[in-house]
Amino acid sequence: MELRAKLQAATKEAMKARDSARLSTLRLIAAAVKDREIAARGGDGDGTLTEGDLVLILSRMVKQRQESSKAYEEGGRLELAAREQDEIGVIQEFLPRQMNAVETTAAIDAVIADLGASGIRDMGRVMAALKERHAGQMDFGAVGPAVKARLLA
Interval 138-152: pLDDT, tens: 877 788 888 888 888
In CATH, the number for domain 101-152 is: 1.10.10.410
Residue 67's nearest CA partner among 135, 141, 146 is: 141
Residue 58's nearest CA partner among 136, 142, 139, 5 is: 136
Which pLDDT band holds residue 90 (cuts at 50, 70, 90)? very high
- The whole-model pTM stands at 0.72
Which one-letter amino acid corresponds to residue 54?
Answer: L
Interval 34-53: pLDDT, tens: 998 888 887 666 767 888 78
Q: What is the mean pLDDT of the chain?
A: 88
Which pLDDT band holds residue 10 (cuts at 50, 70, 90)? very high
Query: Would you state the pLDDT for residue 32?
Result: 92
Which one-letter amino acid corresponds to residue 2?
Answer: E
- Give the mean pLDDT of 120-130: 89
Q: Cα 90 to the chain's mean position, in Å? A: 13
* Number of C-beta neighbours around residue 45 at 10 A: 11
List the chain domain ranges: 3-92, 101-152
Task: For residues 91 and 134, give the distance between their C-alpha atoms in angstroms, rounded to a whole number.
Answer: 18
- Give the mean pLDDT of 13-17: 94
- Give the mean pLDDT of 91-118: 87
Phi then psi for residue 143, to 5 deg, are -75, -35
Query: Would you state the pLDDT for residue 68?
Result: 95
3-92: which CATH topology?
A: Hypothetical Protein Yqey; Chain: A; domain1 (1.10.1510)
Query: Would you state the pLDDT for residue 122?
Result: 86
Phi then psi for residue 58, to 5 deg, are -65, -40
